[in-house]
Amino acid sequence: MLKKLALGVLLLALCGLAMAAEWNLQPAASKIAEDIHGLHEWVMALVTFIFVGVFGFMFWSIYAHRKSVGHKAANFHENVAVEVAWTVVPLIILVVIAWPVTKTVIAQKDTSNADITIKVTGIQWKWGYDYLKGEGEGISFISTLATPRDQIEGRAPKGEHYLLEVDNEMVVPVGKKVRVLTTAADVIHSWWVPAFGAKQDAIPGFVRDLWFKAKKTGTFRSQCVELCGKDHGFMPIVVRVVSADDYTGWVAAQKKIAAAVADDPNRSYGLDELKARGEKVYAANCVGCHQATGKGVPRAFPALDGSKLVRGPKNEQLALVLNGKPGTAMAAFGKQLSDLELAAVVTFTRNAWSNRAGEAIQPSEVKALRK
Amino acid sequence: MSAVLDNHGHAHDPRDHHGGYGGIMRWVTTTNHKDIGTLYLWFSLIMFMVGGVMALVIRAELFQPGLQIVDPDFFNQMTTMHGLIMVFGAIMPAFVGFANWQIPMMIGAPDMAFARMNNWSFWILPFAASLLVLSFFMPGGAPGVGWTLYAPLTVQMGIGMDLTIFAVHLLGMSSIMGSINILTTILNMRAPGMTLMRMPMFVWTWLITAYLLVATMPVLAGAVTMTLSDRHFGTSFFNAAGGGDPVLYQHIFWFFGHPEVYIIALPAFGVISQVIPAFSRKPLFGYASMVSATTGIAILSFIVWAHHMYTAGMPVAGQLFFMYATLLIAVPTGVKVFNWLATMWHGSLTFETPMLFALGFLFLFTLGGFTGLVLSLVPVDIQLHDTYYVVAHFHYVMVAGALFAAFAGVYFWLPKWIGRMYDETLAKWHFWLTMIFFNVTFFVQHFAGLAGMPRRIPDYPLMFETWNKISSIGAFGFGFAQLLFLYVVLKAIRSGEKAPARPWEGADSIDWTMLPTPAPYHTFETPPVIEEGP
């Protein structure tokens, strides 16, 4: 009795759990995602039906044809009619399954006549967005994880959108066909928004595409889904779908910000100003490997604190940061960061921890090295 | 029957038994198929434990969100090595071990065709495994690229990647030699009257598996050699900047990788096809259709590889072709499941541990087959690709499929090998704990995957926490249950009850009917004459 009660409570608890936790596909926000949900539910119903039927047979055998109840073994081992039936019937079921799926496959591949085209670039470990065509053309930004290190390392309570928040969200208008071109700068990544049923690997040196048309406004979150090295789990994708008016407003604001923050490469900056800016750049781009302590990870990622290179001539360090180190995780940041950001982060590393260069590097010096 | 028993009655000269060596040198120099089978099985068990510990490191880190135990780099190394070690170190050698022990005894041959090469195919393995483990101690550690070793991430790795590539070369050589040996043995060394269509189903499945291995292992060797050359010799097979294509690697890898799934599954089907008739006391239903279904699966396995790559980007015609081909595999697989069920139908069933594992296999493997059907559909796969749904799916096929079949095989054949019975009560405990904890671990991963949790991440958003907690608890239960397996095997070897000549009354292949238990060191030195088949 007690055992039964305990079992009952356990089952109830499990049911409650299943209600509390997310256990099914995320709510669909596009026609394709709705189709995928429909297909999934239909196929699941079908296979559950077959599963119950087939294993009903097994459990009936286990129940009725036991030796312990005195069942004597029959000796049949062939039956052409039955064998033909269980080959042909599944074949027919498969055709029934394949037909509606084929229609969705064709619709999902049709990326023609897009209203807006956006190029998404996978970079270790962030996403670059370039608005190529349609309203917002020319907008370009990099989208990096916004969750603080303290939350990841357990020194601060985790926020609601832990690991699913970025500094710059991709913004698109509702009800417009958006074509996304995916590519990558280093290794293969994969861009995915479950609510749109849209996933495409981002392959370095190649451009692939997908499309989606959001049916409702809102913020849709996801993550990179192809193992891309150390911080694969830390490069979220956030898409904010807004009304057409809000989108126009966002585009205008982006253009204004771009004009305002366009750093004047000829301006000269003070050491503290550069260090402060550099610390932020470091936290967003470098800390994953070289660590907040600047000590790196032994045998995997070199230390910057006390490093020969960082304490050596500044142009050598700048060149490495600009061009990266082929064959390692050290990316060519020249493509990702502005002259000011590069000057700032290099200045920061040369003046942080026990490094004491005491000298500021100006954006103009970076610009000169780029040639 | 005792008249044909090969009792090996002449004087016991130890030289005759172990080639004149004792102790460790017996095992190093042995050319006896039974010794080599034993070596394979112990090697596989050790690798199973090593890979299992790695799985537990992964599950411990995933017990709660945030980074607690390992850093992301080491986490990636764990997922990579867990996969490689389990596939190449644990599961494949286990079935080669079964093949070594059983094939000669099942077809009436005195040993394997190439006895010395057999020794070599085994002894390559410990070196390959050492290379894999050594890679952890190289600068940068072991590669953290996933067991699929996708380019161009592999190009970024340290010297541990090269060790892994060499390990894969060695494992491939071992497999190819083992397969050639099995093919030659089956095709040339059958006893008079043992026609192909009289062979036990286990031998049939291995005959077909060996062809798959010979055809695909060189492809894998090619893929990793191209990676090696991209890393060190300035080629650009997988580098777009030099005219190559990273996706080319995936095509080559999966051209090996999909048949590999059946290289693992087919011998498992073979074991199940021996166990179910034995405990149903009824001949295997549809022997001929089993043979054709196995062949059909093997042939189809070569034209479905790109279903692992729906999201890599391919033309719509490609997606449809690979989807239809993949759906087709359900037909011969279904035939096998129906045949097993029909074998049980109106049998006289008993449920000793081998049968329990076979039934567990049948139930859970079919479940994994159904999620495979779900994943074969392009739009649904695009949603679920690289999520935990896929992780759950292939563990249902690999663990509840291959591993359960391996357990069934060990419990079934152990009395024949060592002449002692295992402890039935403890073995049943092993089954039930394994069965329950397996499902606790992996069933919930379907939900995490549906909700959108990517694979191979060391940390995850809060909404996946419940499933990961349950899964981690299950994983530790599963892990500890396997220590019980080790105990049951050791106990049987040390102090098990003496096995009767035919412990399973329904087992009727010639290893049971024509040989004493335990099987003597040399068997069928004079070929038996086979008058009837299954």
Token pair listed for A258: 């771009």
* CA dihedral sign, ordered B402, B403, B405, B409: positive
Give yes or no for residue A223 having a pLDDT over 60.
Answer: yes
Q: Are B241 and A78 in contact (CB < 8 Å)?
A: no
Smallest CA–CA separation between A361 and chain B, in Å?
30
* CA dihedral sign, ordered B9, B12, B15, B19: positive
Residue B2 pLDDT: 39
Overall size of chain A counted in residues: 371
Pick the residue with more confidence: B363 or A358? B363
Indicate the helix (H) or strand (E) that contains B145. Answer: none
Q: Are B76 and A229 in contact (CB < 8 Å)?
A: yes
CA nearest neighbour of B182 among B293, B256, B95: B95
Give the residue from A164, A226, A238, A290 with the most B CB atoms within 10 Å of its CB, the best one to mutate: A226
Q: Left (φ > 0), alpha (ψ -120 to 50) or beta: where does B502 sit? A: beta
Q: A64 and A71 in contact (C-beta within 8 Å)? A: yes
Give yes or no for residue A265 having a pLDDT over 80.
Answer: no
Which residue among A65, A222, A224 sits closest to B347, beta carbon to beta carbon? A65
Q: Are B155 and A44 in contact (CB < 8 Å)?
A: no
Q: In the block, which residue shows the tokens 């479905």?
A: B304
Neighbouring CB atoms inside 10 A of B433's CB total: 17
Which residue among B241, B362, B450 sits closest to A23, beta carbon to beta carbon? B450
CA nearest neighbour of A359 among A343, A335, A338: A343
List strands edge to edge, sheet with A140-143.
A140-143, A126-133, A116-123, A177-184, A208-213
Neighbouring CB atoms inside 10 A of A168's CB total: 16
B153 DSSP 8-state letter? G
Terminal-residue alpha carbon distance, chain A: 82
Q: Helix, strand, coil shares of chain A as percentages rounded to 5?
A: 45, 20, 35
Pick the residue with more confidence: A158 or A267? A158
Q: A172 and A214 in contact (C-beta within 8 Å)? A: yes
Give yes or no for residue A11 having a pLDDT over 90.
Answer: no
Kindly list the distances between the CA atom of residue A36 and the CA atoms of A107, B305, B380, in Å, as whole numbers in the listed order: 11, 22, 6
A186 DSSP 8-state letter? S
The count of C-alpha atoms lying within 13 angstroms of the C-alpha of B382, restricted to the half-sphere facing its C-beta, is 33
Q: Are B463 and A300 in contact (CB < 8 Å)?
A: no
Give yes or no for residue B175 having a pLDDT over 70.
Answer: yes
Q: In the block, which residue shows the tokens 């590519």?
A: A183
Mean pLDDT, rounded, for B456-469: 94
User: SS3 sequence, A291-355?
Assistant: CCCCCCECCCECCCCCCHHHHCCHHHHHHHHHHCCCCCCCCCHHHCCCHHHHHHHHHHHHCCCCC
CA nearest neighbour of A229 among B169, B146, B394: B146
Residue A14 pLDDT: 59
Q: Are A203 and B348 in contact (CB < 8 Å)?
A: no
Q: Nearest residue on chain B to A102, judged by CA atoms?
A: B320
Pick from A70-84, B59-73, B183-197: least confident: A70-84
Kindly list the distances between the CA atom of residue A242 and the CA atoms of A215, A239, A252, A277, in Å, as whole numbers in the listed order: 10, 10, 14, 31
Smallest CA–CA separation between B478 and chain A, in Å?
19
Mean pLDDT, rounded, for A210-223: 95
Residue A140, beta-bridge partner list: A130
**Residues of B labelled as active-site residues:** 82, 111, 147, 174-175, 258, 260, 262, 273, 307-308, 333, 336, 455
Mean pLDDT score of chain A = 88
User: Residue A128: what are its φ and ψ, rounded to 5°?
Assistant: -105, 135
Kindly list the distances between the CA atom of residue B385 and the CA atoms of A277, A318, B257, B337, B453, in Å, as whole numbers in the listed order: 39, 40, 16, 26, 10
pLDDT in tens, A237-251: 999 999 999 999 999
Residue A309 pLDDT: 87
Q: In the block, which residue shows the tokens 């700068």?
A: A185
pLDDT in tens, A196-206: 999 999 999 99
| C-alpha to C-alpha distance for A289 and A284, rounded to whole angstroms | 11
Q: Which residues in A lie closer than 8 A to residue B231 (C-beta atoms)?
A: 327
Mean pLDDT score of chain B = 93
Q: Are A154 and B68 in contact (CB < 8 Å)?
A: yes
Percent pLDDT > 90 in chain B is 91
Which residue among B68, B155, B379 sits closest to A108, beta carbon to beta carbon? B379
Number of inter-chain CB pairs under 8 A, A vs B: 298
Smallest CA–CA separation between A12 and chain B, in Å?
15
Q: Which residues in B lie closer than 8 A to residue A160 (C-beta atoms)?
A: 462
Give yes or no for residue B245 having a pLDDT over 50.
Answer: yes
Amino acid at A176: K
Q: Are B283 and A91 in contact (CB < 8 Å)?
A: no
Neighbouring CB atoms inside 10 A of A70's CB total: 7
Which pTM was predicted? 0.88
Give the residue from B77, B348, B455 with the most A CB atoms within 10 Å of its CB, the best one to mutate: B348
Give yes or no for residue B1 having a pLDDT over 50.
Answer: no
Smallest CA–CA separation between B339 and chain A, in Å?
8
Token pair listed for B171: 């494992």
CA nearest neighbour of A166 among A241, A236, A222: A236
A158 DSSP 8-state letter? -
| C-alpha to C-alpha distance for A349 and A344, rounded to whole angstroms | 9
Residue A170, beta-bridge partner list: A239
CA nearest neighbour of A348 among A261, A280, A269: A280
Residue B444 pLDDT: 96
Q: Are A102 and B320 in contact (CB < 8 Å)?
A: yes
pLDDT in tens, B278-328: 999 999 999 999 999 999 999 999 999 999 999 999 999 999 999 999 999
Which residue among B286, B374, B377 sits closest to A78, beta carbon to beta carbon? B286
Q: Which residues of B22-41 are buried (b: 16+ CB within 10 A; e: fewer)?
A: eeeebbebbbbbbbbbbbbb
Mean pLDDT, rounded, for A330-344: 85
Contacts of B338 (CB under 8 A, 6+ apart): A54, A86
Largest CA distance in chain B: 73
The count of C-alpha atoms lying within 13 angstroms of the C-alpha of B201, restricted to the half-sphere facing its C-beta, is 32
Give yes or no for residue B137 having a pLDDT over 70.
Answer: yes
The count of C-alpha atoms lying within 13 angstroms of the C-alpha of B481, restricted to the half-sphere facing its C-beta, is 20
Q: Which residues in A lie closer than 8 A to residue B145 (C-beta atoms)?
A: 227
Q: B210 and B262 in contact (C-beta within 8 Å)? A: no
Q: Nearest residue on chain B to A222, judged by CA atoms?
A: B452
Q: Are A78 and B328 in contact (CB < 8 Å)?
A: no
Q: Which residues in B lie closer than 8 A to residue A101 (C-beta atoms)?
A: 323, 377-380
Residue A367 pLDDT: 83
Q: Nearest residue on chain A to B363, judged by CA atoms?
A: A55
Q: Are A71 and B346 in contact (CB < 8 Å)?
A: yes
Q: B117 and B177 in contact (C-beta within 8 Å)? A: yes
Give the residue from B457, B464, B508 with the most A CB atoms within 10 Å of its CB, the best one to mutate: B457
Residue A17 pLDDT: 55
